[in-house]
Copies of this chain bind each other. A is one copy, B any other.
């Protein structure tokens, strides 16, 4: 038995016991490590940060995907930036109404290793006929994508360091705005309010997105293996308000069983603690 330890802040650590290191490699983009333990099952880290584990991946993947579909059940064309483990694509592909999913992951090794070690998220994704898998830079992809070509963009990225950095820039958010159609929705990994370094990234992302989209919101969820367990997604949109415009009956008619998401929780998730709301409105 050995321990994987992650620094959550300068003053605290989170550690997970594992039985076996399944794989370790340095790809052209990042350090990739796969481990296997009992409680959290198989998990992998990028540059020594927890990405996905079998115990709580359902939380993250439910929350990045379903709120957008309950706000606009007519989503047909979806762009996923990042998401190399496949879990976000897996959830999107559960909607039979979705016609086309482009997934742009910079590091093919992440996806290939998840196909091998983490079938719970990656299995079946490549085989789905609606999928277009591209292993290239997400920022470059959106720069070259045509105007108004997607209904939904899901930014399933790492923190704004290394390969994730470009996905937290004004240039990127502007391109997202352009390639979204008139009802378009952007969901982005929005970091966390509790530890200072993450909170700073949260504030910066918020400020940039708010300058571009007419409707912007942030929603929260309990993600125990991410620093502080208090994690956020951004919801930016051209027309739909995620709380006022939620289409509960339409979403329920999809008949999807979800372990974390439900339409009551959807509305609840947008109700943020006062200190988070204040931090998000700073610099305005």
Residues of A that sit less than 8 Å from B by CB: 3, 9-17, 37-40, 56, 58-59, 194, 220-222, 224, 228-230, 258-262, 264-275, 277
A59–B273 contact, CB under 8 A? Answer: yes
Residues of B within 8 A of A265 (CB): 271-274
How many copies are assembled? 2
Residues of B within 8 A of A264 (CB): 271-272
With A229-B228, A273-B265, A275-B259 as contacts: A14 and B11 at CB distance below 8 Å = no
Complex Cα–Cα for A273 and B60 (A): 12
B224–A230 contact, CB under 8 A? Answer: yes
Residues of B within 8 A of A3 (CB): 13
Complex Cα–Cα for A269 and B12 (A): 27
CB contact between A268 and one of B194, B271, B274, B275 (< 8 Å): that residue: B271
Q: Which residue of B lies closest to A224 (CB)?
A: B228
What are 8 A-B residue pairs whose CB atoms fall within 8 Å in the complex? A9-B39, A13-B13, A13-B15, A194-B224, A262-B271, A264-B271, A265-B273, A268-B269
